Amino acid sequence: MRKPVIAGNWKMYKTLSEAVDTALALKPLVANANHCEVVIAPVFTAIKIVSDRLEGSNIKVAGQDCSTQTEEGAHTGEVLASMLRDVGARYVIVGHSERRQFYSETDAEVNKKTQAGVASGLTVIVCAGETLDQREQGSAESVVSQQLNGGLSGLTASDLDRIIVAYEPVWAIGTGRTATPEQAQEMHAFIRRVFAERHSKETGEALRILYGGSVKPDNMAGLMSQPDIDGALVGGASLKAESFSGIVNYRR
Ligand code: PGA
């Protein structure tokens, strides 16, 4: 049985006090959510205080990115995956389309970040997704498999225990335009097949694949009714405790 993961990506939003307030407001609202792992990803500067304030709760904290480096050194502005773990993060998101699009992140960099995250004992949420143009040209599957093959190259089957894939079609992120449950299911089943072929049937079956892109409390149940959708990576609707808890506690 794959345990669903419902992760909120707060992106570059919230002051320190807003981050703490949201996290504390969320805590009682999801306290009974034993059906899934609940994760929130605040900005780097808020990770420590948010994870301290959530200690003992069922909410875990993620970084939104990490360095490609694996050892400390003269790399101004970078944060090691092990440093995220040191301040309480247990997950890290890598390869988000905003990083690929606005910071020219490559699959090779995503791969290094993924390896660094796994080596530091973090669970790594690796994002992949096609643009609208790519979908319309019929290349969505090849784009996603290329991103995942590149981003996950060199990882062993046991490393894959620490990997979660997030399928996030770029055209659905922050646009209010969600992929239909059927469109998402089709891609999730494809991703699972790719992993089964590359590794083993068991590895494919065990892999958790999240959907991301305009997930809201009212479309979550439809997405989760699909057999290969194992949770969600939520942006905008994770910023408020009420809407994020509505997603976590979707009617099953
Ligand atoms: P969204 O963002 O839910 O606001 O579309 C999803 C994401 O970027 O992870």
User: 212 CB under 6 A from ligand 1?
Assistant: yes
Collapse the DSSP code of 85 into the 3-class scheme (helix H, G, I; strand E, B; otherwise coil) and give the result. Answer: helix
pTM of the model: 0.97
Q: How far apart are CA 135 and CA 94, in angstroms?
A: 22
CA 122 to chain CA centroid, Å, is 12
Q: Is the dihedral of CA 213, 214, 216, 219 positive or negative?
A: negative
User: 147 CB under 6 A from ligand 1?
Assistant: no
| Confidence class for position 176, pLDDT limits 50, 70, 90 | confident
**Mean pLDDT in the chain?**
97
Mutate to test the pocket of ligand 1, among 91, 94, 178, 233 (most ligand atoms within 8 A of CB): 233
Q: 56-89 pLDDT, tens per residue? A: 999 999 999 999 999 999 999 999 999 999 999 9
Element spanning 94, H or E:
strand 91-94
CA angle 65, 16, 97 (to 5 degrees): 25
User: 236 CB under 6 A from ligand 1?
Assistant: yes
Cα 197 to averaged position of ligand 1 atoms, centre (Å): 29
The active-site residue, picked from 105, 109, 168, 188, is: 168
Cα 237 to averaged position of ligand 1 atoms, centre (Å): 8
Q: 203-251 pLDDT, tens per residue? A: 999 999 999 999 999 999 999 999 999 999 999 999 999 999 999 999 8
| Tally of CB atoms within 10 A around 228 | 21
* Number of residues written out for the chain: 252
